[in-house]
């Protein structure tokens, strides 16, 4: 797991989510959800805010979760949101903005995949299959730390 990359995705996602919560047009304009004058309808603003809060919350979880299962779960949550957004946007956005919005959602999801499966600061622990005495060495290390 590439922890630094996942943390960066989390911080960027949280910041973007908070920005869109305050100014929904930051998401509405590039998504083609504005009128001819570039204004965002009140109903659209209301509809975009829960997505922005979701992004802020999932980004914070990714940025702050302890390494290990909690961070991995936060990354999977972020992936589900990004790929879910891509599917929703593909089905609902007006044609001119659709391709870009879908590509952006998929790209952010891909960055999270790279963080989950990439190399970086990895979790430590015995590696299975590399040598037969890995679990025994781990057991001996635990015994030494107890005494």
In this predicted structure, what is the pLDDT of residue 94?
84
Contacts of 132 (CB under 8 A, 6+ apart): none
Task: Read off the pLDDT of residues 74-118 as tens digits, 9 standing for 90 and up.
Answer: 999 999 999 999 999 999 988 888 999 999 999 999 999 999 998
Task: Read off the pLDDT of residues 2-25 as tens digits, 9 standing for 90 and up.
Answer: 999 999 999 999 999 999 999 999
Q: What angle do CA 5, 48, 3 make, to 5 degrees?
A: 10
Name the token pair of 27. 């998401």
Cα–Cα distance for residue pair 55/72, rounded to 1 Å = 17
Predicted model pTM: 0.76
């Amino acid at each position: 797991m590439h922890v630094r990359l996942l943390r960066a995705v989390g911080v960027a996602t949280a910041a973007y989510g908070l920005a869109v919560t305050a100014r929904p047009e930051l998401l509405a304009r590039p998504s083609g959800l504005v009128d001819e004058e570039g204004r965002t309808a009140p109903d659209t603003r209301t509809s975009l805010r829960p997505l922005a809060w979701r992004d802020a919350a999932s980004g914070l979880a990714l940025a702050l979760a302890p390494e290990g299962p909690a961070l991995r779960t936060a990354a999977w949550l972020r992936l589900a949101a990004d790929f879910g957004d891509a599917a929703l946007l593909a089905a609902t956005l007006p044609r001119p903005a659709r391709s870009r919005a879908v590509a952006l959602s998929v790209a952010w999801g891909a960055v999270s995949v790279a963080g989950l499966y990439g190399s970086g600061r990895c979790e430590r622990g015995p590696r299975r299959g590399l040598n037969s005495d890995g679990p025994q060495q781990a057991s001996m290390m635990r015994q030494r730390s107890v005494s």
